[in-house]
Structure 1
Amino acid sequence: MDAIDLFAGAGGFSLGAQMAGVHVVWAANHWPLAVDTHSLNHPGTIHSCQDLQQADWRDVPNHDVLLASPACQGHSLARGKEKPHHDALRSTAWAVVACAEYHRSAVILVENVPEFSRWVLFRPWCDAMQRLGYAVAPHVADAADHGVPQHRERLFLVCTRSQYPLHLELPKQAHVPIANVIEWDAHPWSAINKPGRSEKTLKRVQAGRAAFGDRFVAPYYSSGSGLTGRSIHRPIGTITTKDRWAVVRGDSMRMLQVPEAKAAMGFPAAYRLPALQKDALCMLGNAVCPPVSADFLTAIRQAA
């Protein structure tokens, strides 16, 4: 089976396809650095750096599967206050419809945050897909159920040219603790009680120690485990596009590093990312967890 990958980013969807025995023949993204990163890791794929809302779909190779992860920032609750540019981000989902109209791909697999289904235009989007002959089956999957040491719920829309929606029964794996991928002795640490450390951080550390002992993780923002910390003996919370998770060990702490975040997303250690931590974390936070996409595509192949 051949696939194309829209909004390919660092290549998590493409890597998952590769794991499932699907060949990604073409991939596109608007960010040159993401395209370069994808090219490094998927040299056998044709790459295009462009705004997909302006794409000429005649230039895209024929394929069996269309993979797409349109911008989620306009849907995610993490976006904060609604802003004008969020409309532009949400509208990227229409590129999937435009590509489907031209190519009539046998299978389309779309990934986004669960809030995508609450978009005011979600029903019209589904109606457009249905008018093109697709049955749309929504699935919500937590990456932790697919062997990834991270709780990360995402919506996957399985769109097939069939009379009825294809609802998949995906096997669930045992959860992997984040402790398994933390490199305790590989990165520099700093003292928790040092000049300039914020009072809020100190309170989070104190609460984490009381709940989990000397070793735990804690996010630097948000509610929930942002107030209490989180046990290292369970999957970590969502990896975001910015430095979020701190690792605490005794009287020292540091931020989660790129190799650890990469493993927490389900990418192999050899997968190449930009040298700057800011860029690498941005790509990881926007990525699709490869094992999750692999499980979806494997189930789709088995159901075909």
Structure 2
Amino acid sequence: MKAIDLFAGAGGFSTGAAQAGCSVVWAANHWQAAVDIHSANHPGTAHACQDLQQADWREVPAHDLLLASPACQGHSPARGKEKPHHDALRSTAWAVVSAAECHRPPVFIVENVPAFIDWALYPAWALAMEALGYALAPMVIDAADHGVPQHRARLFIVGTRSRNPITLKLPQRDHVPASAIVDFEAGTWSPIRTAKRSSATLRRIHQGRRELACGRFLIPYYGSGSGLTGRSIHRPIGTITTVDRWALVRGNRMRMLRADEARAAMGFPTDYKLPPQHKAAMHMLGNAVCPPVARDLIARIREAA
């Protein structure tokens, strides 16, 4: 099965597709740094760096499976107050319609945050896909149920050129705790109590110690995260975002999650290449699809075909 990957980013969708036995023949993203990383990890794939809303889809190879992760920032509740540029981000989903109209692949999968389905134009988007002959099967999947050491709920819309939506029974894998991917003996640690440490962070640590009754745990460093307290390392970590969000606490010291730990938390292979800059690596990982989720989903689709 040949696949293409739109808004490919770091390549989580492509990696999962390859693990499911697909050949990813073409991938595109508007950010050159992401294209470079995708190319380094998927050298056999043809790449394009472009605004996909301006793409000439005739230049894209024929394929059986269209994968797409249009921008989620305009849909996510975490975006905060509505801003003018959110309309432009949401409109990236129409590129998927254009690609499907040109190539009519048997199957497409769109990944986004669950709030995508609440978009004011989602009914029109869905009708456009149905007009092209696709039956849509939306499903919200938590990556933790697929062996990823992270609770990450994402919407996957499977479109098939069939009379009725596809029905899939996905595997339910054991949850993997955060302790499997964090290394408390590595990294650069700093004292918890410093002049610059915020009172909110200190409160989370204090409550984490009290409620978890242990000296090693995680806390959400920015925002409320998993609440106003710590998070046990014996459960999957919370959602990895595009900025440093999770801190490790060990006794009276703490540090932020490293990029290699975030890579493991997303379910990427340990040898998957990342940008050398921490900020760029975290941004790409936070925007990525968890490969094991894509693998399990695509494998079931192939079995049902």
Give the TM-score normalised by the residue count of structure 1.
0.99
Structure 1 residue 226, shift from structure 2 partner: 3.9
> What are the residue-to-residue correspondences of 1:253-272 with 2, within 5 Å?
253-272=254-273
| Corresponding residue number in structure 1 for 2:295 | 294
Is the 1:220–1:226 Cα contact (8 Å) retained in structure 2?
no
Taking the aligned partners of 1:22 and 1:205, their CA distance within structure 2 comes to 45
Structure 1 residue 220, shift from structure 2 partner: 1.4
Taking the aligned partners of 1:190 and 1:234, their CA distance within structure 2 comes to 25
Taking the aligned partners of 1:184 and 1:135, their CA distance within structure 2 comes to 48
Q: Which amino acid aligns with 1:16?
A: G
Taking the aligned partners of 2:142 and 2:226, their CA distance within structure 1 comes to 18
Is the 1:258–1:277 Cα contact (8 Å) retained in structure 2?
yes
> What are the residue-to-residue correspondences of 1:211-222 with 2, within 5 Å?
211-212=211-212, 213-222=214-223
The answer to whether structure 1 residue 26 and structure 2 residue 26 are counterparts is yes
SS in 2 for 1:158: strand
| Corresponding residue number in structure 1 for 2:145 | 145
Taking the aligned partners of 2:131 and 2:58, their CA distance within structure 1 comes to 21
| Corresponding residue number in structure 1 for 2:134 | 134
- Summarize deviations over 1:89-124 as a string: whole Å, max 9, x none: 000000000000000011001100000000001111
Is the 1:168–1:299 Cα contact (8 Å) retained in structure 2?
yes
Is the 1:207–1:228 Cα contact (8 Å) retained in structure 2?
yes
Structure 1 residue 195, shift from structure 2 partner: 2.5
Taking the aligned partners of 1:94 and 1:191, their CA distance within structure 2 comes to 48
- Summarize deviations over 1:128-158 as a string: whole Å, max 9, x none: 0000000000011000000000000000000
Q: Which amino acid aligns with 2:244?
A: D
| Corresponding residue number in structure 1 for 2:177 | 177
- Summarize deviations over 1:254-292 as a string: whole Å, max 9, x none: 000001000000011110011110000000000000000
Structure 1 residue 34, shift from structure 2 partner: 0.2
Taking the aligned partners of 2:11 and 2:47, their CA distance within structure 1 comes to 11
- Summarize deviations over 1:237-266 as a string: whole Å, max 9, x none: 100000000000111100000010000000
| Corresponding residue number in structure 1 for 2:85 | 85
- Summarize deviations over 1:159-207 as a string: whole Å, max 9, x none: 0000000121101111000011001112111111223211111111001
SS in 2 for 1:225: coil
Alignment length (residue pairs): 304
| Corresponding residue number in structure 2 for 1:241 | 242
Give the TM-score normalised by the residue count of structure 2.
0.99
| Corresponding residue number in structure 2 for 1:5 | 5
Q: Which amino acid aligns with 1:191?
A: P
Structure 1 residue 223, shift from structure 2 partner: 2.4
Unaligned runs of 5+ in 1: none
| Corresponding residue number in structure 1 for 2:157 | 157
Structure 1 residue 222, shift from structure 2 partner: 2.5
| Corresponding residue number in structure 1 for 2:98 | 98
Structure 1 residue 224, shift from structure 2 partner: 5.1
Taking the aligned partners of 1:35 and 1:200, their CA distance within structure 2 comes to 38
| Corresponding residue number in structure 1 for 2:35 | 35
SS in 2 for 1:227: coil
SS in 2 for 1:48: strand
Taking the aligned partners of 2:95 and 2:68, their CA distance within structure 1 comes to 9
SS in 1 for 2:156: strand
SS in 2 for 1:216: strand
- Summarize deviations over 1:71-92 as a string: whole Å, max 9, x none: 0000000100000000000000
| Corresponding residue number in structure 2 for 1:193 | 193
> What are the residue-to-residue correspondences of 1:273-288 with 2, within 5 Å?
273-288=274-289
Q: Which amino acid aligns with 2:14?
A: S
Unaligned runs of 5+ in 2: none
SS in 1 for 2:268: coil
| Corresponding residue number in structure 2 for 1:59 | 59
- RMSD over aligned Cα atoms: 0.7
Taking the aligned partners of 2:72 and 2:167, their CA distance within structure 1 comes to 23
C-alpha spacing 1:222/1:167, structure 2 compared with 1 (3 Å): farther
Is the 1:2–1:64 Cα contact (8 Å) retained in structure 2?
yes
Give % identity.
Answer: 67
Taking the aligned partners of 1:255 and 1:167, their CA distance within structure 2 comes to 41
Taking the aligned partners of 1:284 and 1:110, their CA distance within structure 2 comes to 18
